Structure 1
Amino acid sequence: MKKLLAVLTIAALALTATVSIASAHENESHGFIKVKAEQAGGLRLGLNKFQFWGTVNSATSSSLVFNAKAGKHLSDLMGNGQVTVVINSDTKIKGNDEAVLSWADLKAGDKVIVSGSISGTVLTATQVRDLSRPVTRASGKVTAVTDNSITITNGLTGVSQTVTTNADTKVMINGESKTIADIQVGDSGWVKFKNEAGTLIAKFFNLFR
């Protein structure tokens, strides 16, 4: 009986030790996975890269000052929540709809997402996306045509956009240069337009049928 009890005691101790080791190993593994995930997040962006979102504060001849709300790799480069970023000829400035913008289009208070590279303490923007710029492109299907306007309706959102056409409006249908008179209800594609004193003037149609 004593031998049986001794054997059972040893077995119980061995089982407890095994569970403890397994638990410790599991915790260690979870910690390792967490660290790897955090490291991977940094590697995806790149240690010499940055990204943040915020608003435009002011501009100089070669840089912009932003009020940064949140971002990556900026903790040592911010002062009072502000970040100064160099803008050069390689910086791509775009609107919310991928429209190409210029330096002059950025206004104080505009909401932006900025990304770029870090060299020492200098931040250089590779891309600035202005989320405050009005949409200048509409896509969908042509649902109405008049002598001086075209209406395009987006099938996913149901939103319709009517634009005014004029002699300067360019048209491409199935990759061929056409005129406004060639546009028909049912054509699909997109139109790029410009807001001129409250009137949406169509600049270019790219359609397919």
Structure 2
Amino acid sequence: MSQGILSPPAGLLSDDDVVVSPMFESTAADLGSVVRKNLLSDCSVISASLEDKQQVPSEDSMEKVKVYLRVRPLLPSELERQEDQVCVHIENMETLVLQAPKDSFALKSNEWGIGQATHRFTFSQIFGPEVGQASFFNLTVKEMVKDVLKGQNWLIYTYGVTNSGKTHTIQGTIKDGGILPQSLALIFNSLQGQLHPTPDLKPLLSNEVIWLDSKQI
């Protein structure tokens, strides 16, 4: 079963506006007591030919996952301890170099000819500590929001160790919102004139809506 989103009328979303909502798609099949010998011919997305099935899609036809890295600034408590970020070096917009800290086991092992002291990683784009919430949103999520309003599906998630800044990037603060409040604000701004004027509808469970009376409102 696929869930979609209706596209807004033309002209609702300007180049300066944006919107993002993760969309999910799932498929379920109930075989019951029916046993079929040839299932391939019934699937429109799978070729009945085993030779066609074994063909590997070309790189151009495959959509790549975009992976963004955001390096957070040091916290006040870390600055008080005179910590630094010399171990993290942004080589360019796509390449990050990690250097083992001084007196670390990794660095000593490397001196003994064991392991590596330097590691290089590549991302779709890297954002340094100086990049604010608005700039990060505009450079990463803005175009995805536009795609969602056109009916396309996107999934966005954060990954990182504890205290690495995931919650700040997603939620932010009241004065400096993250990608979630910015996305919601732009979604509603793009739907001006189409919103229900009275708050008398309430979602019920997953797929129903109830009409509230004046006391419930």
Q: Which has the higher strand share?
A: 1
TM score, norm. by length of structure 2: 0.20
Higher relative contact order (CA 8 A, sep 6+): 2
Which has the greater radius of gyration? 1
